[in-house]
Structure 1
Amino acid sequence: MQHILDAIMAATEDPQSTTAADFAALELPESYRAVTVHKDEAEMFAGLDAKEKDPRKSLHVEDVALPELGPGEAYVAVMASAINYNTVWTSIFEPVSTFGFLERYGKLSPLGKRHDLPYHVVGSDLSGVVLATGAGVTKWVPGTEVVAHCLSVEMESPDGHNDSMLDPEQRIWGFETNFGGLAHIALVKANQLMPKPAHLTWEEAASPGLVNCTAYRQLVSKNGGDMKQGDNVLIWGASGGLGGFATQYALNGGANPVCVVSNEEKAAIARSMGAEMVINRSEADLKFWKDEHTQDPKEWRRFGGMIRDLTGGEDIDIVFEHPGRETFGASVYVTRKGGTITTCASTSGYMHEYDNRYLWMNLKKIISSHFANYRESWEANRLIAKGKIHPTLSRTYSLDEVGQAALDVHHNKHQGKVGVLCLAPEEGLGVRDHELRDQHLEAINRFRGV
């Protein structure tokens, strides 16, 4: 891979030094370095509580064979990637082993069969450089600096042509497909590619992908919350991976975010983004569950009162809901009559419980949201590229440290996004537009070291 890295570094220093033809002529390796989980270890954590399952034991950094390049696909030399909760779920084999996804994909077609392997290359974010493209690809040429969104679709059914998220063969790349972004090379569909924001480093550009696009659809898009100016938006985990972007979108779109965080340090981050209404859950000692089986409606009402104190007596128009079980009952309760609860992820548990009287009698809506289609992803990335929305990268690890990076996310010891250097030899590389970067440097670095 050294000759590939040398070509990328030369092009970064002098864009005229290496042409598309030069990149296309680079010899591709037969194998490459990647982060994997193994099929024969899927039961290694059997009987353990989720928090006791250690990604450092299940994530392997090893050489794997370069897969065949198919029509409409691209090889990307990965300079940097990032950790998402789906990588944590993959590493602890919860809620199910991802090898079931790969087996089903393998039955779809001969090209799908490539993904059904005894190992799974994980990762759903990347920034890097196109190395080669398959038949039929015209938009992207070797040498192009790109980021990738994680929506993989086949689009052979009519169902997805109004919204590609509804394609029956919709999958999340690097989670429900193989050959993900935590590697030196990734295999993607060409319609996953988007231009790399020129003012960001490789690691900064890789970090927004999954969470930025998810937040855009869930809150801004007509397929999600369809947020408008003046809306009161309740954002759980407002300084975290998803919530950090939701807070930015609310502020950028003229809404009023009510930011819920777990400590004063995170409250300070929310305020530094421009949020004025912040609730520190720990300080308020909010406990929505009396015990494992019983919620406490009095706490819902107390929480609603805290929100009204901040908003001048107004209720919530849109809830940006992703913790799931722990918070969902409260989310439904505090939403205004006719308001909307948008939900994804459920990181605290998938089995939600809420009092349906507060939903049906008040004409509230629950809208499910899952990642984003290509148009939504492109719009979200465009806002990053224009410096309207900023990455939330807090820390970067090397590829060999990916197990520790995943453990930090698993135990919520991180803030914002955790990046991973793949081919990039160090942080700080890949910036093209220094003038734009200088204008937004404080915002770009807001989460650093937190």
Structure 2
Amino acid sequence: MNTEKMNKNQPGGKADQFSKSGFILAAIGSAVGLGNMWKFPYITGQYGGAAFFLLFIVCLVAVGLPVLLAELAIGRGGRGSAASSFIKVGGHKAWGGMGMLSVIGSFMIMSFYAIVAGWTFHYAIRSFSGKLFSNSDFGAQFGGFISGYTPILWQAVVLLITGWIVARGISGGIEKFNKVLIPGLLLLLIILMVRALTLPGAAAGVEFFLKPDFSKLTPESALVALGHAFFSLSLGMGAMMTYGSYVDRKQSLGSATLAIGGGDLFYAFIAGLIIFPTTFSFGIDQAQGPTLVFIALPAAFSAMPLGSLFGGLFFVLLAIAALTSTVSLIEVPVAFSMERWGLSRSKAVWIIIAGCFLLGLPSALSFGLIPGLTFGGKSFFDWMDFLASNILLPLGGLIVTVFAGYFWKGVGKEAGLTAGWFRVWLFMLRFVAPILVLFVFLHSAGIIKF
């Protein structure tokens, strides 16, 4: 393979990089996924409402942003995949194994994340068509849907769309995609927020979300807030590290970190102003967990004027949020494959897409078609989620904090902070973030329980 072709295919090569605004939007898109639009509202409902939201903000600033800056700095310093960037800036091949955890984790997450993303596509179409509201037993509808073969079709659709975007490259694919869909996501959020805030009884939902009652907080809620602050920024999965390898040297990583964190928080805030006014208006238990979106909210839309329209817009919102994350998840193993085996971007993309589809099949089938596919009381889907989200990602994040805080000599130069802010950041990386991320890991793994 000639040198020109190799340079074009390598992550971080000059042939294909983000523009300044494109990088910010792509990174915000990676952070703003189903975690903001689906998970954040129901865990906020479960763990204390406004008090939990404030705790989440504190955790985002104290832990999320320092680790985010570290990942971006490692990526730009190494100018390679999540695995090779560790080696290039750390100076030892052993660090490559640490980076591989992120590559494996992102691949595993994509295999089952695409399934849930497919659910949102299915529900958007059924809502716009009115078929979703032809039967008021939304629990039975959801159960019947996920236990059939249709989710496999939608899983394939999500993967094909994602592959098409990523195969077009960084500037021509991922950046262009996010430049259109992130503003579109904001527009949908505002439309749905206005609709939610004008519902009867919406004020009670706003109060629950914005008026804190600190007596509702528990030690467990603190760890959940910390964990979500960490995961909502796509940390530990190699996405921000890989995106960092495509960032121009002139771009301020400190400013970019603040912009990404602010964007992530803003989208979560607007999502809360949609979910909680709606649930309170229709007497829905906002703490009921993952079924909130696919069972409880359709019931609310069915009782709302123009419910098919607003329900459809809501699920389109979820679908867009999911896609902005799938492109970043796929890019991590794609960048590694291009670099490790010298594959063209197109070939690497479709090999990874095929692998994710095959690995995701047992997850898609574990909801009913293969009811006996359980191990230790967990389905295949649950095990994939547990291993990737609760083991690999916290462990990957812990490695980033320790590596950047103690082992990488050039971390200050790459981060580009002023002397004062660098000392604060380094203190957080060395003495605050590792301890808190370790607690998240122990809690997520089930070792610490309350």
Task: Report 1 or 2 for greater relative contact order, CA contacts < 8 Å, sequence distance ≥ 6.
Answer: 2
| Structure that is richer in helix per residue | 2
By the TM > 0.5 criterion, same fold?
no
| Structure that is richer in strand per residue | 1
TM-score normalised according to structure 2 size: 0.23
TM-score normalised according to structure 1 size: 0.23
